[in-house]
């Protein structure tokens, strides 16, 4: 039992929060790339990603887990993004800080999703352990490269002016 819910129910709730956060994150990235304010999608991304990450800390665990290893940096960049989103005015470095922070948080969430997909669905069917590891590394490298390119373009295209809330 976690927060009065069965572990299976709590896992499903965390999965739904994660998927909603990732979906909202992709819509938010579209807003960054087109320099259009999407305040509802930004708030949805920040809140659901933070809730899903915090929920990952509540699972019973032994030692260091992926939720802890990735959860700490996700919460740190989400806090930085939230400070910029709700207190700064996207002037100077804060615009860049926001873009990089949300892109790192979204990348980490997608990284965890891919790791869990590989762990639950592909690892048991792999013919050899090295095959699983190589496929996982190739998938993560492709995702990292895609996020690096999108982050570069988001930094170039997101040109919010003072008072232009995202």
pLDDT level of residue 166 (50, 70, 90 thresholds)? very low
Within a domain: residue 38?
A: yes
- DSSP class of residue 161 equals P
Average pLDDT over residues 44-56: 93
Structural element, H or E, at residue 21: helix 7-34
pTM score, two decimals? 0.86
The range of the structural domain enclosing residue 129 comes to 7-157
Q: Is the pLDDT of residue 42 over 80?
A: yes
Within a domain: residue 36?
A: yes
Number of domains making up the chain: 1
Query: According to the model, what pLDDT value does residue 2 have?
Result: 77
Within a domain: residue 45?
A: yes
Average pLDDT, the chain: 84
């Amino acid at each position: 039992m976690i927060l009065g819910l069965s572990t299976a129910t709590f896992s499903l709730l965390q999965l739904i929060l994660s998927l909603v956060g990732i979906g909202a994150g992709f819509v938010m990235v579209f807003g960054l790339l087109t320099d259009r304010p999407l305040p509802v999608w930004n708030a949805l991304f920040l809140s659901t990603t933070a809730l899903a990450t915090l929920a990952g800390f509540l699972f019973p665990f032994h030692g260091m887990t992926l939720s802890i290893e990735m959860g700490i940096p996700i919460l740190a960049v989400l806090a930085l993004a939230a400070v910029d989103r709700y207190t700064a005015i996207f002037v100077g470095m804060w615009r860049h800080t926001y873009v990089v922070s949300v892109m790192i948080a979204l990348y980490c969430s997608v990284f965890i999703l891919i790791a869990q997909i590989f762990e639950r669905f592909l690892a048991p069917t792999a013919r050899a352990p090295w095959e699983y590891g190589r496929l996982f590394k190739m998938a993560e490298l492709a995702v990292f490269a895609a996020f690096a390119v999108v982050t570069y373009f988001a930094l170039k295209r997101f040109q919010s002016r003072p008072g232009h809330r995202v």
